[in-house]
Amino acid sequence: MRQRQKSGISPPSNQPDAQNPRFPKSDRHKPPTNCYLLSSTRRVFALCLAFRVVNALLVQTYFNPDEHWQALEVAHRIVFGYGHLTWEWKKGIRSYLHPLLFAVLYKVLALLGLDSPWFMQRAPRLLQSIFSAVGDLYLYKMSDVLFGDCVAEWALFSQLANWFMIFCFPRTLSNNLETAVTLVSLYHWPCLRVSPTKVPSVSRKWGLALAALACVIRPTSAIIWVYIGLLELFGTHDRLRLIFLEVAPIGALVLGLTCLLDRLMYGSWVLVPLNFLKFNFLSSGGDYYGTHKWHWYFTQGFPVMLFSFLPFSVAGIVWSKHWKLSGLIAWVLGLYSLLGHKEFRFVLPVLPIALMFSGFALAKTKASDSQDTEKKGSLNTHSRHPFKRLSILFLLATNIPMALYMSLVHQRGTEDVMIYLSEEARNNKVESILFLMPCHATPYYSTLHRNLPMRFLDCSPSEEKDIPDESDRFMMDPISFVSEFTKSWSIPSHIVLFGSEERLLRDFLTSHSFKEIRRFFHSHFKVDRELQASVVVYFWTGH
């Protein structure tokens, strides 16, 4: 196991002083750390893993449908034979690689007889916590290689304390696995180092293989690797070797293996990256689910993700002058801005890079405070590093409450209602369920874990434009939609809907022998629709 550098906060010795951060000389010969947990990469990983496991157990809210519908639901169908496949799987724009990771987990749980509601709900996020911890570790290692161990410590602090990473990173989104793989890959790329020629040649091959894997997990990851690939191409002397002996064979091998996997799962040859490109870029299919202004990532999306770390990240970019990595952030935000449909999670892979620059700024602040203290000759430990202490308190006071609120409170009703229904179904108290709410608003069979009839309102993209789907028609006029819908329905034992629509349909439901049996808190404020304050469950009392 590689031991940490012994050089205070200066970069490794293979980096020339001209590239070093301007830390005071008084700090450059201090012991690397007083923290036993950060004295080796093994202990750093143990710390990150412990943190992410607790983090995974802490998250109890709903964030994005893809966490369940594009990963766990597919894995559940593979292992248990039932689960809903959304329209993307019929169009062949999703690879089975990511869901198969959770399918293996489900199979192990089933073999051990542990496929109970508790394990089915928490085990996938616990598995993701391992991947997230690996990403945390490699952000630390990359920061150590580029800027030194002090920056690495503060970069890790920024990563673990950022509200959005706490809220999002343990979830089973493909973006999170993409982020972890991206961090490992970036660590191996010579073009990002100050002395690329001193990086072993095998390191670049690992970087290429992991970059290809990231693109297989999410084809849009190619946006990152085009930038890194061009940097490597222009900075290396063996360009033909890079293209024909490394990029081509490694890329072909990873793509070929993935195609074979998808061939096995789909039952026919499917080129997922091509189908994904056609739908999301050539036909702007993603716009069906909403659009934002072109500047949204710069003015709202990414600043919200960074939150109070934003000024520190900007300062770190300016002070470090590492324009290659800061350019990567601008490149990713710029290209994603060209797409109409925008989401926070799309740019998650570059959030840790911005947080690394925040760590740089915090480390430089510490170094500056140390220099000022030595000049004053103060021995009072309570007065040392005043600005650093205030900065840490400010970051923790702003991020931790936000992380706790978003992870424990905001939009938890749709998770809670499925946990409740899974327990009721386990006790044979549920026969069928109808979800009268926007499509994909809750988890599905992967949480219920019972093969019962369930129905939700469809929102698959239509070939004809300007024709509202079931979900849209229900939201526009719930009473008219339900009146027409019930003419040909099979009466469910349970109906689930948001409180905002329940108020409109209460008389209708009562007249059809439905009675409210549970109500779950969901949200204090609206997100993209009217306020969905609660989730209500109605039970059919007729015979």
pLDDT in tens, 390-416: 999 999 999 999 999 999 999 999 999
Question: What are 333's two structure tokens?
Answer: 């935000």
Strand 494-498 and strand 454-456: the pairing is: unpaired
> 405 by DSSP, 3-state: which?
helix
pLDDT recorded at residue 288: 74
Q: Which is more confident, 243 or 286?
A: 243
Asked if residue 15 has pLDDT above 90, the reply is: no
**195 and 12 Cβ atoms separated by less than 8 Å:** no
Separation of alpha carbons 207 and 229, rounded Å: 10
Sheet holding 534-540, edge to edge: 454-456, 433-436, 494-498, 534-540, 514-521
Given pLDDT bands bounded at 50, 70 and 90, which one contains residue 33? low
Q: pLDDT for 417-461, tens place per residue?
A: 999 999 999 999 999 999 999 999 999 999 999 999 999 999 988
Q: pLDDT for 231-283, tens place per residue?
A: 999 999 889 999 999 999 999 999 999 999 999 999 999 999 999 888 877 77
Asked if residue 225 has pLDDT above 80, the reply is: yes
Say what the pTM is. Answer: 0.90
Given pLDDT bands bounded at 50, 70 and 90, which one contains residue 14? very low
User: Rounded mean pLDDT of the chain?
Assistant: 89
Question: What are 531's two structure tokens?
Answer: 């306020």
In this prediction, residues 519-540 reach a mean pLDDT of 91
Q: What residue segments make up the domains of the chain, in order of their start?
A: 41-366+387-409, 412-540
Asked which of 106-110, 167-171, 525-529, 533-537 is least confident by mean pLDDT, the reply is: 525-529
Q: Residue 277, exposed/middle/buried by CB under 10 A (0-12, 13-18, 19+)?
A: middle
Given pLDDT bands bounded at 50, 70 and 90, which one contains residue 31? very low
Q: pLDDT for 344-396, tens place per residue?
A: 999 999 999 999 999 999 999 866 555 555 554 443 444 456 888 899 999 99
Length of the chain: 543
